[in-house]
Each structure stands twice: as structure tokens, then as C-alpha cells.
Structure 1
Amino acid sequence: MIFEKIRDCIMSRTNLSESVVTMQASLRDDLCLDSFDLAELGIELEDVFAVTIPDEDLIAFHTVSDIVTFMKNSTK
């Protein structure tokens, strides 16, 4: 459920298919998200999950899995 919401947020900002947006996908290398894209994604994720993502956590995300782990820990 968390992964699917994150995947949907990423897919809504890119032209990528579900098969590309995997848990192991690198945000920068595989999904080609730059710092501006990540900032916008962070804002959307904060709205979707009703959490605050500190800047230092946002820039530390390297893979989709990193975001999933953060959200699991933040929404307990």
C-alpha cells in the first residue's frame, strides 16, 4: 500500500511505467529525478501521507525503498 502510493506519486510526475518504478530503482539514475523533482515529490508525499519530511531526509533518499522505509517509520 505504501509502495503503491509512492509509485503513483512518482508516475504522476514522470512518464515512467510501473515496471520502471520498483523498490530498487535509483531516484536519480533509474528514474532521472533531479533535485527540483525530488523537492516537488517530497511536497506531494507530505500531503499524501500527512507527514513532514525534513530536508536532510529528503536529500538522503537514494532509492524508492528508502522512501518506503521512511514512510513506514513515520506513519506508525
Structure 2
Amino acid sequence: MAHTTEDVLAGLAEIVNEETGVPTENVTLEKSFTDDLDIDSISLMTIVVNAEEKFDVKIPDEEVPNLKTVKDAVDFIVGASK
């Protein structure tokens, strides 16, 4: 099932909030996971695993370093879900 950018952003914001306590309204496309949202690599891996389950996609480990911003992750998930 294909996901829209809006669906993925909302779902990702919920996952980030559950893992880190960052308010969902702070999780926007232009935010960097590490610089803006202060998410460490361990938390990011948990977010990736939860996103894989939520959106039924596979995010290869070698792809994770490329997911620097929320938009990077949203675009990857939208593309992988088609």
C-alpha cells in the first residue's frame, strides 16, 4: 500500500514522540534528526525499526546514515511503500 507524505510524516512524528518525548508538532520535514531534534543513533535505530513495522517497509542498515532529516526518512518510506 502506498503511503502519502502527510501520512508518513504524522506516523513518524508519533514514533519520534514515543521514543524521545519530542512533541509531534516539532517533527517537521526540514528538521534534522540529530541537530534539530537531538536524537542519538540508538534512538534513531529504534525509530527506524518502529517505522519499518508501522509502514511495512524495509529500511536497509546502510541506508540509515542517509536519513539525516525527517524529509529524508519520509521520502524513503513513501518511495519504498509504492
Q: TM-score, normalised by structure 2?
A: 0.86
1:45 maps to: 51
Select which of 6, 11, 17 maps to 2:17: 11
Once the 2 structures are TM-superposed, how far is the Cα of residue 18 of structure 1 from its aligned partner? Answer: 2.7
Q: TM-score, normalised by structure 1?
A: 0.92
Letter in 2 for 1:9: I
Select which of 62, 65, 75 maps to 2:71: 65
Q: Percent identity?
A: 30
Q: Which consecutive unaligned segments of at least 5 residues does structure 2 have?
A: 1-6
Q: Which consecutive unaligned segments of at least 5 residues does structure 1 have?
A: none
Q: Does 1:25 align with 2:31?
A: yes
**RMSD, aligned CA:** 1.0
Q: From the two aligned structures, give the one with the greater helix fraction.
A: 2
Letter in 1 for 2:28: T
SS in 2 for 1:9: helix
Matched positions, count: 76
